[in-house]
Amino acid sequence: MDKILGTFNGLEFTVGDTLLEFSYLVAALLFVYGLKLLSHPESARRGNLWAAGGMGLAMLTTLLLHKNAEGAHIPISNVFIILAAIGVGSVIGWIAAYKVKMTAMPQMVSFYNATGGLASALVSLLEYPNAVAGDVGSILVTILGLIIGAIAFSGSMLAYGKLDGKVGDVMKPFMTYLNLALLIATLALGAIIIFSPNEPAEMTGLLYLLLALAIIYGVMFVLPIGGADMPVVISLLNSLTGIAASMAGFVYNNQAMILGGILVGAAGMILTILMCKAMNRSLLNVIIGAFGGGGASVGHEQGTIKEITLSDASVLLSYSQKVVVIPGYGLAVAQAQHIAHELESLLEGKGVDVRYAIHPVAGRMPGHMNVLLAEADVSYEKLVEMDDINPDMTNVDVVIVIGANDVVNPAAYDDPGSPIYGMPIIDAHLSKNIIIMKRGMGKGYAGIENFLFFNPKTRMLFGDAKSTLQKLVSEIKSL
């Protein structure tokens, strides 16, 4: 039996209670330290391990020391069931993460995010009947956890389908108003349940109706979103999952869950706002699902497409002083990150300064290109953010665009009729020479024409990125 250390406001505190609270404090410090390390690619792996260690500590001490309102510990039989579930889930997660291709990484992130939202929603669904009628605070966090968790679940699952090509974009003018109506209806029903004087057991029907509305809203919220806007949506959904987890923490009065959820929610929201800025979108438009989906660009005259041979490209690159590589989703599709790193090393051996220009929303999720290039052992110092590389773009001898499209499209600057007008881009058009590697003249993810193709300084190098880069490397070696 735990030794009683003292009392406070009539509550007894034991050795077990003290150890549990202390473990939560240590876990919180590990979360914050891990988050700090995650701010730089070079230390991100260690940061992930430190944060995971903090979560592991919180889980272990909760299983061993947590007591319910009656002062009883978790039954040992339940502990074994929980540990077995954790073990099975860990094995499945490890295998999935080990086997996933880089092109499918955004889908995996969305799927895992959906499971977090579902778990939080189920906690609220199961714990609501245990709430006390009239206890507005307790019911409030339970209902918020249900709504936010359900939206994060259904929205993330639909995002998974869209990223995997299983679901297309559906954007109709009335959907903005429909989404607003659904959101208002969901919040209104939630308020009715929260402030109802009835016993929770009497509100079961309305609770399941609220769950259905939240799931439908999550689907409708993501359904019209397309184009290059998916990274913003994934970041926002991740933030919602964190907030839902913190609500579950309030339900169970678990400080580790509360803090962990708040950190995830805050970090995700900050990232969402930064990405909205990078996309020139408002957060309100993200919430009501009123942006994306492509459109028709106007106001440009298409020029002449000019190609470049492998031999000419190899000579141009070999005798340049500054070369900038702009990677995009096409680089991930071709799995050409390793050969791109080989090209970089080969050119550096010839005295060429090679860097990579990273747009905040290049790829299909936040940091997609950073992860992709890190896998190929590209030095972190060579990954330069858009705002840092743009001022020097006029001094760059050659820009190589590999699989990127919308993030280098000049229509963002000079075509008010373009859906991406006003979006900050990498100023590839200001460099002295531009080489664009593409399989064909297809449009980017936003579904609009890229007029960088017709720039007088642009030369197209058609073909699969990996195969083309391999041939280019061979040409350079033979010089």
Strands 11-14 and 322-327: what pairing? unpaired
Locate 143 and state its tokens: 């209902």
Distance CA 117, CA 245 (A): 8
Which residues, other chains included, contact 358 with Cβ-Cβ below 8 Å and sequence gap of 6+? 327, 369, 370, 383, 384, 385, 386
Give the residue numbers annotated as catalytic, written as ranges.
Answer: 406
Residue 270's H or E segment, with its range, is helix 255-279
For residues 431 and 21, give the distance between their C-alpha atoms in angstroms, rounded to a whole number.
57
- For 216-338, where are the E strands, in sequence order? 322-327
In angstroms, the CA 81 to CA 357 distance is 49
Which of helix, strand or coil describes residue 135? coil
Query: Which two three-digit tokens encode residue 369?
Result: 């290109």
Q: Measured between alpha carbons, how far is 385 from 389 in angstroms, rounded to an integer? A: 6
Dist. CA 50–CA 31, nearest whole Å: 7
Neighbours of 68 (CB within 10 A): 9
CB 452 within 8 A of CB 410: yes
CA torsion through residues 184, 190, 195, 197, sign: positive
DSSP state of 2: P
Residue among 449, 436, 369 nearest 410 (CA): 449
From CA 263, how far away is CA 246, in angstroms rounded? 9
CB 132 within 8 A of CB 83: no
φ and ψ of 173, to 5 deg: -55, -35
